[in-house]
Amino acid sequence: MAIVSTRLSRAIILVLGASTLIPVAYSEDNSNDVDTIIVNGKAIVVRGPAVEAAPSEVSLDAVEPVSIVNDNFIRNYISPIGDYSQVVGMTPGTYGYSPNGVALGDTKIYMRGMDDSNFNITFDGIPFNDTNGVSHHSWVFFPSQFIGGAVVDRSPGTASTIGQATYGGTIDLRSRILSKDASGTLTVSSGDWNTTLYNVEAQTGETGDAHHTRLMANIHLLNSNGYQSYNIQSRKGGSFKLESDLTDTLKLTVFEDVIQLNSNTPSIKGISRTQYLSGDYQTLLSGDPTKANYFGYNFYDVPTTFTYVDLAADYHTWSFDEKAYRYSYHNKQNYNSATSISVNSAVDKLNSYDTVGDILRVNFKTPLGELRTGVWFDYAQSYRYQIPSNPQTWVDVATPNFREHYTTTTWQPFIEHEFKLNDAFSVIAGIKYAQYQQNFVHDQDNGGAVGPLGGVYNSKTFVITGGAPYIKNDITYSDTLPSLSAHWSISPTLTAYAQYVYGDAIPSTSIFDKPNAQVSPAPKPQQAKTSQLGLVWSNGTVNGSVDVFQEKLDQAYIATAPDANGNVGWIASGSETNQGVEGELNVSLGHGLSLYVNGTQGSVKLSTGAWAPNAAKDTEKGGLTYQNAHWSTSYQVERVGTMYNNDKAGNPSFVLDPVVVSNVFVNYTFDKSAMWEAKTKLQLSVNNLGNSHAIVGIASPSTGSSSANPLGADLLSVLAARSFAVTLTTQF
């Protein structure tokens, strides 16, 4: 496997290097192969057949490292039960794994070596994330049935890029593109581990004479036993999208989706090293109610909703786009200790929030170019608790580990101007102000967060005597974030860009989980200062880019020891430097064949010189695709290089070997016939073709364990086994 990985790395480097020697001449024959997307209010264009089947593509208009995933790739070349981690999983420098099987768990993505809490994920430009810290959940909100593409920006963007974690970049998921023609689609999929998916979709096509209206609705049902024992998954969902051309210049879009997720995923996610060494990669939970790890003592109930109304207009000299939205998340989880059953061995947990907001973008053409301005407002109400409980009766004890209500109000006004210095060269200068205000009410607890607030906690009766029932506190964070970008059109098929930009990330609410919530000084938002240079080339047969980057990152804040008054301060623990080179390339080989490769090489190091955890030294990915009137097939391989994980003391003592995963997708589309007036596609998909059981993370290290001294009690995240699925899709 190591030989294969090395050869793949060399092949990608050779192709990336050779691509600069391929002649790229613009042809008017490609003028119809044009797709335009909007990124932060700016139109960018992609051309050519080389990108039609690509896992990722690039645009000559980009001013930062941006990769674009299209609908054709999602519909044909990811698992039919996939989520957004598979949608973006082949873009440069991204990786994430689900030990229970593809999309059968809450998969966390890493990008440029940074984890899920350090970058935005948005849907049609609307940021969504947990409110106790910027994190995301792939198994709810947006399964692949609701996604029509993605724009992956591996940088803080420009001043008009909004979100609570522009620090590490933005993954913008896109809703499905509505068809001009009416249709109905039925999808049935069956795969390993008793996995089934049923999906029904209907589109009205364009209705109305002068100003068209289009409507799409779909519903789906997913059930699976999962790869890990008793890690059962069930998801029901539906989405609705309406587009109406109110006038020649005014367009209305309405979107809504609803998800209901139920699962038996435990709080402890990994298998023990002892199991792993014995060849047992999947025993996680038990079917025996006398055992602490009984699956009936571990369950999730997670309903989510996401709704927006968008009004957009494009006039001769100016345009605007306003989105009002609401989304909600209600994660009710119950889980037990893996080792005992008692009146307080389990946890009754809730993490819920309801968020409303509005995004206004206005663009003006000026004598010097284009002015883009606007404001993002977001208001979230949250309720969270964790209470010790009896797993057999789910009767909670009197006092929680913590219980809190809080609101989060975000304002981000921005302004930027694109100066067109001549037909070939432009500069974008901008600035954004970010403000985050939080208002907390913390209830008395057993010491898990703010403590008994002057009362006395009895650890035998679980009761607090005396003290204040709750405590209130408020905090406001603010940041000023400038950006400067330059774009040079060297030729019709070759462009270059340079950028220097600031990003930030809001601190976690856990900073107030200190006795009596006495926190001073509070931390500041973590900042990222990013410099990058890139080249993009594109014609009808070649589409590719390469960039170099350096990011100076504030490391996470650490708490000081309490002072004489019990006050706990938060101070910067240091900095990180993230730097490297990344590139991707699509080549149309002719006769329906196309090749895609990408690669990254870099480092994410703390100011101490140590490697940051979960930051791969390199990644390499490739895919070979064949498409004609009937067949659409793809072979994909991904290699994620060596990385480190922390031990119990927070030191990078675990070395994780490179991981190689390959997938195969074979689709055959049958013609309509006199007997069957429907377009039918049959798909065979194989995930983890090589049946690798590589260790992809240390879920929970035991005290004293390291790669030099691995202990059997370590909990490991391990790749799920090879899996097959057969999918039939009929379009009427």
199-250 confidence digits (pLDDT tens): 999 999 988 777 789 999 999 999 999 999 999 999 999 999 999 999 989 9
Q: CB burial class (10 A; 0-12, 13-18, 19+) of residue 709?
A: exposed
When pLDDT is cut at 50, 70 and 90, the band that residue 601 belongs to is: very high
Mean pLDDT of the chain: 91
Amino acid sitting at position 246: L
**pLDDT value at residue 41:** 66
**710-604-139-192 Cα dihedral, nearest 10 degrees:** -50
Model pLDDT for residues 547-557, shown as the tens digit of each residue: 999 999 887 78
**The token pair that represents 67 in the structure block:** 């990769």
Range of the domain at 299: 2-731
Q: Please state the separation of Cα 110 from the chain's center in Å.
A: 8
Q: What is the pLDDT of residues 129-142, one digit of tens each?
A: 999 999 999 999 99
Burial group, residue 339, by CB count within 10 angstroms (0-12, 13-18, 19+) = exposed
Q: In this predicted model, what pLDDT tens digit does every residue of 397-410 receive, in sequence order? A: 999 999 999 999 99
State whether residue 619 is helix, strand or coil: strand
Q: What is the pLDDT of residue 600?
A: 97
Conformational region of residue 699, where left means phi above 0, alpha means psi within -120 to 50, and beta covers everything else: alpha
pLDDT at 6: 41
Cβ-contact 493, 22 below 8 angstroms: no
Specify the pLDDT at position 39. 73
Of 128, 77, 78, residue with least CA distance to 103: 78
Distances (CA, A) of 139 to 142, 236, 272, 300, 621: 8, 11, 24, 12, 24
Q: Over the stretch 522-534, which tens digit does the pLDDT of each residue have?
A: 889 999 999 999 9
What does the CA dihedral 254, 255, 258, 263 come to, rounded to 10 degrees?
-170
pLDDT of residue 195: 98
Question: What pLDDT is attached to residue 48?
Answer: 54
Cβ pair 569, 559 in contact under 8 A: yes
The Cβ of residue 290 has, within 10 Å, a number of other Cβ atoms equal to 7
CA distance 87 to 105: 15
Write b or e for each residue in 511-535: b if 16 or more Cβ atoms lie within 10 A of its Cβ, otherwise e: bbbbebbbbeebbebbbbbbebbbb
How large a percentage of the chain has pLDDT more than 70?
92
Whether the CA torsion 328, 235, 716, 285 is positive or negative: it is: positive
Q: Does residue 236 contact residue 260 with C-beta atoms inside 8 Å?
A: yes
Q: Which residues on neighbouring strands pair with residue 499, listed in sequence order?
A: 485, 532
Is residue 405 within 8 Å of 441, Cβ to Cβ? yes
Mean pLDDT of 37-54: 66
Q: What is the pLDDT of residues 85-136, one digit of tens each?
A: 999 999 999 999 999 999 999 999 999 999 999 999 999 999 999 999 999 9
Task: Say how far apart CA 384 and CA 349 lie, in whole Å.
Answer: 8
Residues 517-545, mean pLDDT to the nearest whole number: 92
| CA angle, residues 114, 501, 111, in degrees to nearest 5 | 15
Q: Which of the residue ranges 308-317, 328-337, 557-566, 641-650 would you say has the lowest mean pLDDT?
A: 557-566
pLDDT score of 340:
94
Judged against a pLDDT cut of 60, whether residue 167 lies above it is answered with yes
- For residues 324-329, average pLDDT: 98
381-390 burial code (b ≥16 CB/10 A, e <16): bbbbbbbbbb
Beta-carbon contacts of 5 under 8 Å, excluding residues fewer than 6 positions away, are 620, 639, 658, 660
The per-residue pLDDT for range 604-657, each reduced to its tens digit, is: 998 888 888 999 999 999 999 999 989 999 999 999 999 999 999 888 999 999
How many CA atoms lie less than 13 Å away from 320 in the CB half-sphere?
Answer: 9
Give yes or no for residue 75 having a pLDDT over 60.
yes
What pLDDT, on a 0 to 100 scale, did the predictor assign at position 28? Answer: 32
**How many percent of the chain have pLDDT more than 90?**
81
Local confidence band at 21 (pLDDT 50, 70, 90 cut-offs): very low
Three-class secondary structure assignment of 622-688: EEEEEECCCEEEEEEEEEECCEEECCCCCCCCEEECCEEEEEEEEEEEECCCCCCCCEEEEEEEEEC
Total tally of structural domains belonging to the chain? 1
CATH number at residue 93: 2.40.170.20
Structure confidence by residue, pLDDT tens digits, 702-725: 999 999 999 999 999 999 999 999
- The reported pLDDT for the residue numbered 649 is 87
Pairing status of strand 170-175 against strand 120-123: parallel
Q: What pLDDT is recorded for position 277? A: 96
Question: pLDDT at position 49, please?
Answer: 56
Please answer whether residues 530 and 499 qualify as being in contact, where contact means their C-beta atoms are separated by less than 8 angstroms: yes
**pLDDT for 27:** 30
